[in-house]
Amino acid sequence: MAYVAVKGGETAIDAAHAWLAEERRGDTATKPLSVAQVQEQLGRAVDRVMAEGSLYDRQLAALAIKQAQGDLIEAVFLLRAYRTTLPRFAHSKPVETDAMRIERRISAIFKDLPGGQVLGPTSDYTHRLLDFSLLDEDGAVACPPPVAGETEPMPRVSDILRYEGLLEADTAGPGDPGDLTREPLAFPAGRDVRLQALARGDEGFVLGLGYSTQRGYGGTHPFAGEIRMGEVSVEIEPAELGFVIDIGDLVLTECQMVTQFKGTKTVPPQFTRGYGLVFGFHERKAMAMALVDRAMRAAELGEDATAPAQDIEFVLYHCDNIEATGFVEHLKLPHYVDFQSELQNVRRMRAAAEAAE
Amino acid sequence: MAVLARAPAGRLEALLDAVGERPAYTLLRAPESGLVMVRGRIGGGGAAFNLGEMTVTRCAVCIDSGPIGHAYVTGRASRRAELAALVDALMQDPARTEALEARVIAPLEQEQADRQAQRAGKAAATRVQFFAMQTMRT
């Protein structure tokens, strides 16, 4: 099929854009929304857009959300597009999450662990009742006073379990990790590339797949070994300096899912892990990512790979919401000629069927 | 450099003005925004993987007496990068190091430590204190 160039519609498009801008602004009797307000008060939306846009910049993510009228996938698209206009100066040293300045840290497998269970600013224990007091424009917020004193170190739960040899150890890998923003996906994809794809993958898709593993499609009975959220320092080594410098902080959420593993001839029974790490305070995504990461390790661990979440190709080809939205929404574009040919085909088949009767 | 990278532009301006250190300088590399690919470790402690990018701004300045100052700061922050590079250059002048250390770096460091302590304190307030439940069996 050939694409046929068609002209026209410029005026209609201009009018559509103008109306879009007006709709975005909404009723002018209400105050306009500032980007700073989005950045400060819609933090979880900002986190999601940064994670899936694969670009950590709170202000830009907030701008994208405003511009996209809160359509988060459209905002991710804007961020991804902007990213392509910037040069890449460097890659960071791997961030060290054991040195994270913890704002939240919980474990579902050990009650009393060094550093304790720190809830942080969680909504887990709210009643999910609409809070009508928020209808008031300027409801004051009272936070209990901070607790002073030295904070205990918080080793990762995975490091605690590892002392007994009951948990698989992390392994150092060779050289530079794969980068799917630079090289196209190739299969079999290594765990480095899989984690990169999941970290920027669609929250809904990754959540659904993670859920499917819990319901028995590639089931591994998982425990939330640890979830931690807080700030980590980013370090780079610029060529012109020749030494490592600390350039600032970013907020990350990390999840370690722990799963029983019955062992093989060479490996004793132990716990294996799925890993989740995402930009921002983004716990649901980090947990789902860890489940899917573990599911995709089926072949590596000698398990049968039968379920969608265990199918690396299926997961990686479909978890990116910009690719997905591009292909689904391209169906809106004119397919006039395509459809004409199908129409002729159906008419011909019908005529042939009638003639045969 | 870690302290300067985290300093708001307004604070850098104010502290430099207070010290009275605003010599002429030339931009060797005008503030330029770009990306750093942030890496994580598989499993938290294993091999590296590419997590995603973050915006950064870099700048290099040269003061007339010679030293070159560099800065890399997170975000798109031209003014912040330029001022951080300027302080970095000034710090390399032995005659100025001490005053800048005491009157620019130290206060910034304190502010950053206070902010961190404030957040750590909020986190500590949400640490769970478990109480053993009395069971029926004694």
Q: What is the pLDDT of residues A280-306, one digit of tens each?
A: 999 999 999 999 999 999 988 888 889
- Nearest residue to A312 (alpha-carbon basis) of A226, A185, A215, A227: A185
Identify the bridge partners of residue A272 per DSSP, sorted by sequence position: A259
Contact B1 A245 (CB under 8 A): yes
- Please state, rounded to an integer, the average pLDDT across all residues of chain A: 91
Search chain B and give the residue with CA nearest A99.
B44
Torsion of CA A11, A12, A15, A20, to 10 degrees: -140
CA distance A294 to A182: 25
Q: Mark residue B119 as left, alpha or beta (left: phi above 0; alpha: psi -120 to 50; beta: remaining).
A: alpha
Non-local CB neighbours of A5 within 8 Å, separated by 6+ positions: none
Is the model's pLDDT at A151 over the cut of 80?
Answer: no
Residue A105: CA count within 13 A, CB half-sphere: 29
**Residue among A101, A54, A41, A76 nearest A251 (CA):** A101
| pLDDT tops 70 at residue A93 | yes
Which of A168, A245, A99, A107 has the alpha carbon at shortest distance from B69?
A: A245
Residue range A312-336: mean pLDDT, rounded: 94
Confidence (pLDDT) at B135: 62
Q: Would you place residue A169 in the very low, low, confident or very high pLDDT band (cuts 50, 70, 90)?
A: confident
The predicted pLDDT at position A113 comes to 86
The dihedrals phi and psi of A190, each to the nearest 5 degrees, come to -70, 165
**Which residues of chain A are within 8 Å of residue B42 when distances are taken between CB atoms?**
170-171, 173, 191-192, 195, 275
In chain B, the residue whose alpha carbon lies closest to the alpha carbon of A256 is B43
What DSSP character marks residue A291? Answer: H
Which of A90, A156, A196 minimises the CB distance to B51? A196
Q: Does residue A171 belong to the interface with chain B, where contact is any CB pair within 8 Å?
A: yes
> Which secondary-structure segment (H or E) carries A102?
strand A101-106
Query: Is the reported ipTM for this assembly greater than 0.95?
Result: no
Nearest-CA distance A255 → chain B (Å)? 9
CB atoms within 10 A of CB A305: 16
pLDDT in tens, A260-270: 877 777 878 88
A192 has a chain B CB within 8 A of its CB? yes
User: Measured between CB atoms, which of B32, B43, B48 is closest to A158?
Assistant: B43
CA distance A4 to chain B (A): 39
Angle at alpha carbon of residue A105, lines to A204 and A246, rounded to 5°: 90
Judging contacts by C-beta atoms under 8 Å, the chain A residues touching residue B43 are 158, 170, 256, 273, 275
Interatomic CA distance for residues A181 and A173, integer angstroms: 20
Q: What ranges do the domains of chain B cover? A: 2-97
State yes or no: cis peptide before B67, omega within 30 of 0. Answer: no
* CB-based contact, A57 to chain B, within 8 Å: yes
| Residues A192, B52: C-beta atoms closer than 8 Å | no
pLDDT classification of B136: cutoffs 50, 70, 90: low
Task: Specify the residue for token string 């068609």.
Answer: A6
Q: Is the predicted pLDDT of residue B138 greater than 60, yes or no?
A: no
Q: Do B45 and A193 touch (CB under 8 A)?
A: no
Check CB contact under 8 Å for B35 and A87. yes
Q: Nearest by CB to B51, from A158, A199, A256: name it.
A: A199
Contact B121 A97 (CB under 8 A): no
B54, A250: Cβ pair inside 8 Å? yes
Q: Is A41 on the interface with B (CB under 8 A)?
A: no
pLDDT (0 to 100) of residue B20: 84
Sign of the torsion formed by the C-alpha atoms of B59, B63, B64 and B66: negative
The tokens for A29 are 């009797």
Q: A109 in contact with B at a CB cutoff of 8 Å? A: no
Contact assignment for B6 to A248 by CB distance below 8 Å: yes
**HEC profile of A214-283:** HCCCCCCCEEEEEEEEEEEEEEECCCCCCCCEEEEEEEEEEEEEEEEECCCCCCCCEEEEEEEEEECCCH
Q: A120 touching B, CB under 8 A?
A: yes
Hey, which bits of chain B come out as E strands? 25-41, 48-63, 68-74
Contact criterion met (CB < 8 Å) for A55 and B55: yes
Nearest to A107 by CA among A189, A225, A270: A225
Give the separation between CA A189 and CA A150, rounded to whole angstroms.
44
What are the chain A neighbours of B130 within 8 Å (beta carbons)? 111-112
Q: Which residue has the higher pLDDT, A200 or A144?
A: A200
Query: pLDDT tens digit string along B37-88?
Result: 999 999 999 999 999 999 999 999 999 878 899 999 999 999 999 999 999 9
Q: Give the number of residues written for chain A.
A: 357
